[in-house]
Each structure stands twice: as structure tokens, then as C-alpha cells.
Structure 1
Amino acid sequence: MNFFPNAKINLGLNITEKRTDGFHNLESVFVPVLWNDELEIIESDQTSFVSSGIEIPGEPNENLCLKAFYLVQSEFKLPPVRIHLKKNIPIGAGLGGGSSDAAFVIKGINEMFELNMNVEQMQNFARKLGSDCAFFIKNEPVFAFGKGDEFAPINIDLSNKYLVLVYPNVHVSTAQAYSGVKPKKPEYSLKDIINMPIKDWRSFMKNDFEQSIFKAFPKLYRLKQDLYSLGALYASMSGSGSTIFGIFEGIPPRIKVKDAQIHICKL
């Protein structure tokens, strides 16, 4: 069977406190994005993982897709499968591509083998794989809190808006991103900001990673300003970077950025 794991963006990102388990509590709004990987899962004589497209670092047997399969197999009797992932979503770009791939394996296995898991069961598997992995089970806009794996419904309408994503081939490690952030309670509630007109988000919505990351990579700051100069209603870095996105009212003007991947889609 074939599946198409999608990316996500963060609207706002507040790092609110350091947890006793070493993780951080955060607040954000997660929104699914139509930038997709391609995932094929078929029964086989032995379980394996192969990939094509963008090169995935690390050993294949350590990939989250395999870990997701084995996690489900630990509780259900499943035959071996061959997983082929064509990687299109940039890696380490703040778009959640790896988490999405793993979540779609869980959903795919549930569908293929008629396991009849409900959303909560699948989310509980996904939470064991990564902080934002559980989001991709329901795959709809949510207010995210805790480690980024707890969700509350949110009313947001971005229909007919266009999204421009610019990945400038700059790698920002998660450790580097968190090292530059001091957790604090946000000045404004993200739940309130999200109900404002989009043009007002620029004045109130923040991504706490931007301040230190932009100092280390001025190119990212310039990209954000470029999107505003082209007419973006709102622009930001997604997650811990390095993708910069802009939300536009209509079809955006042609954008050229040297040595960058640019993806345009409708929200």
C-alpha cells in the first residue's frame, strides 16, 4: 500500500519551562502542510527498510519507520514487511518530516492489517518515537503543549491562503537551538493571538528559537524579511529551523533564493 506523509509548520513557538526529565515544555500551533514524502509498505519474507530521494543519515535499521513497525509488532502479530520511503521533505528543517513518516507507518500498518486501533492507541505508539510524532495521527491543526505531544482543538481558518516554504540548506541541530533559549512564560497567549487577523500576528506571535538562531545564521533573518517585503501576511521560522515560511493572501510572486529548496502550496 502507498501513503503520503506530509510536513507541518509551527505557528508560534514558546519554550515555557525546562522539565525534570531533561525535555522542555512548549506551546505552539501545529498546521499540516502539503509537502509530502512517499511511503510504500508491502508484505515480504523479511522486514526491511530502503529509501530513495533525499539521502537519510544514519543506518537504515535505525530509521524511525522501522522502529514504528517494530513498536506495533510488539503488541500485534504482524507478518514481515518491506518499507520503501522516497524522501522529499528536507531533513532537519523544522517540518517534522521524520516524525510524519513514522506516524504514517503506524497508520498504514493499522489499515493494512485491519488492527482496528483507535486514534488514542496510535498516538500512544507515536509518542514513544518523538515529541511531535503523535500530531500526524489525526493530522489536523491543533494547539500543542507539554513536550509537543499533547493537543487541544483550535479554531483556525487558513483556507485559500498560500504558503511559501524556503529551506536554505542550513542545518540547525536541535541541541544548538535549545542551547540558545531561556524558557519563560509568554507575554501573550498563543490561543488569543491565533484568533487575531493574520496581519496582526507579526506583532504578537513569536518563535523563541529565532533570536539566537538568527544571530548564528543571519541568512535566515534576511529570508524572513524578504518574505515580508514580497507581501507575506505573516512569516516565521518553523520549529527549530531552518525552514522559513510565509503566508500569503493570494498566489505569491515568483521567489528565487540561491541554493535553497522552495515549496509553494495552498493551505
Structure 2
Amino acid sequence: MVTFPNAKINLGLLITEKRPDGFHNLQSCFYPVGWSDALELIPASETAFSSTGLPIPGEPMQNLCVKAYDLLRRDFDMPPVHIHLQKNVPIGAGLGGGSADAAFTLRLLNDRFALSLSVDQLENYARQLGSDCAFFVQNRPVYCIEKGDVFREIDLSLSGYYIVLVYPNLAISTAEAYARIRPQQPEHPLADLLLQPITTWRNTVHNNFEASLFPTYPVLASVKEQLYEAGAVYASMSGSGSTLYGIFDAPPADLNQFAQYRVWQGKL
């Protein structure tokens, strides 16, 4: 069985406070985009993990896909599988690629072995693997609060717009990004700002990590400005970096300025 774990972007990201458990509360809208990995489950005599495409750091058997399998294996009698991942979405890019791989592994195992897990059950398993893993169970636009794993409905659609994702060959760890952040309560809830016309977002919808990371990594600010110069109606960094994205009314005609970076574009 094969599936295609897709990335997500953050439409705004406000870090509002540090929690007693060491995590942070936030406000954001997670929005799925089409840049995808490929994930395959193969019958095997013992559980194994392999990958092609972009190199994945760490021990193979410590990959989140394997951890997803092990999590379900504790509660269900599943046979061994060989998990193979074609890694296309950059790592340390703020796109949730690893989280998507883990959540899609849960979904694939649920289908393959007829575990009959509900959406709520799958989301609860996913929350044990990472704060944004649960989003990829339903994989639709949602407003996120608390650690990013509690969801609220939001009437927001970018259907008809085009998106360009630019990964400037720079991985930023979540730990580094959060070490620089200063939580603060927003003047207006992000949900209210996102319901305004997208033409207003440039001045109102922000990613808090930009203020702390742009001075250290000037390429991020440069790429964001280049996206606006290319005609984006809104541009931002996604997650805790380092991917920048631009949302366009029409496919941009010329992206040669990003030729040295990894770029993905498609329709929302």
C-alpha cells in the first residue's frame, strides 16, 4: 500500500505563552499543501525502515514512521512491515513533513489491518508522536490552539489561489527557533484577522518567529521580499522555518531568482 504524506503551511503563527510542561501555547491556521513524500508498507518477516530521496538524519529504526508502527503495535496484533519512505519534503523546513509521515503511517496501518480506529482515536495516537501530527489525520484547514494539537473550525478557503514554497537550503531546528522566541498575547485573535480579505494579511497576519530569526538568517527576509516582488498577495515563513511561501492570484511567470533553492509550486 502506498500513500502520499503532504506538507502544511502556517497561516499566521502567534506564540502566546510558555506552558508549565515546557511547551508553548500558540494560535495558527494549518493549511495543507501538495508538496508530498511517498510512503509504502510492504509485508515483511521483521519490521524495517528504509528511505530514498533526501537524507534523513538519525537511526532508521528511530524514525517517526517506525514509532507510529510501534505505538499501534502495543495495542493491536499487527504483523511486521517494511516501511519505505521516499523523502521529498525538506527537513527542518517548517512544513511538518516528518509529522505528516508519522500520521500517514497511522492512517495506512489503520486501513491495511482494518483496525477500525476512529478519527478521534487516530488523532490521540498522533498527539503522542508530535504536536502537529494530529493535524494530518483529517488533513484539512483548521485553526490550532494550545500546543497546536487542539483544533477549531475556521471558515477559510484559499481555493483558486496559487502557492510557491521556497526552501533556502537552510534547516532550522524547532529547539533553536523556540529558544529565541518571546511569547506575548496578541492584540487581536489570529482567527479574526484571517477572516479579513487576504489583501489585508500582509499588515496584520504575522509569524512570530520571523522577528527573531530574520536578523540571524538574512536570507529568510530576502526570500520573503522577493516573493512579494514576484507578485505574491501574501508571503510568510511557515512554522518555525525555514521555508517561505507566497500566495498568488495567478501562477508567477518567473521564479529564476530562486533557482539556487528548492522550490515547489502548485494550486491551493
By the TM > 0.5 criterion, same fold?
A: yes
SS of 1:12's partner is strand
SS of 1:160's partner is coil
Structure 1, unpaired ranges of 5+: none
Mapping of 1:160-171 within 5 angstroms? Answer: 160-171=160-171
Conserved 8 A contact 1:188-1:204: no
CA deviations over 1:142-164 (Å, ceiling 9, x no partner): 00111111101111121110000
Give the corresponding residue for 1:228: 228
Instruction: Measure, in 1, the Cα distance between the counterparts of 2:259 and 2:247.
Output: 21
Instruction: Measure, in 2, the Cα distance between the counterparts of 1:227 and 1:259.
Output: 15
Deviates more, 1:66-75 or 1:256-265: 256-265
Q: CA deviation at 1:258?
A: 4.5
SS of 1:215's partner is coil
> Which amino acid in structure 2 is aligned with residue 203 of structure 1?
N
Q: CA deviation at 1:127?
A: 0.3
Matched, 1:203 2:172: no
CA deviations over 1:135-190 (Å, ceiling 9, x no partner): 00000000011111110111112111000000011121212211221111112211
Give the corresponding residue for 1:78: 78
Matched, 1:145 2:145: yes
Structure 2, unpaired ranges of 5+: none
SS of 2:188's partner is coil
Q: TM-score, normalised by structure 1?
A: 0.99
Conserved 8 A contact 1:233-1:248: yes
Give the corresponding residue for 1:263: 264
Q: TM-score, normalised by structure 2?
A: 0.98
Conserved 8 A contact 1:11-1:28: yes
Give the corresponding residue for 1:23: 23
Instruction: Measure, in 1, the Cα distance between the counterparts of 2:206 and 2:158.
Output: 19
Q: How many residues align?
A: 267
SS of 2:232's partner is coil
Instruction: Measure, in 1, the Cα distance between the counterparts of 2:175 and 2:251.
Output: 36
> Which amino acid in structure 2 is aligned with residue 108 of structure 1?
L
Conserved 8 A contact 2:230-2:254: no
Conserved 8 A contact 1:161-1:248: yes
RMSD: 0.7
Give runs of ≥4 in structure 1 deviating > 4 Å: none
Q: CA deviation at 1:259?
A: 2.7
Identity over aligned pairs, percent:
54
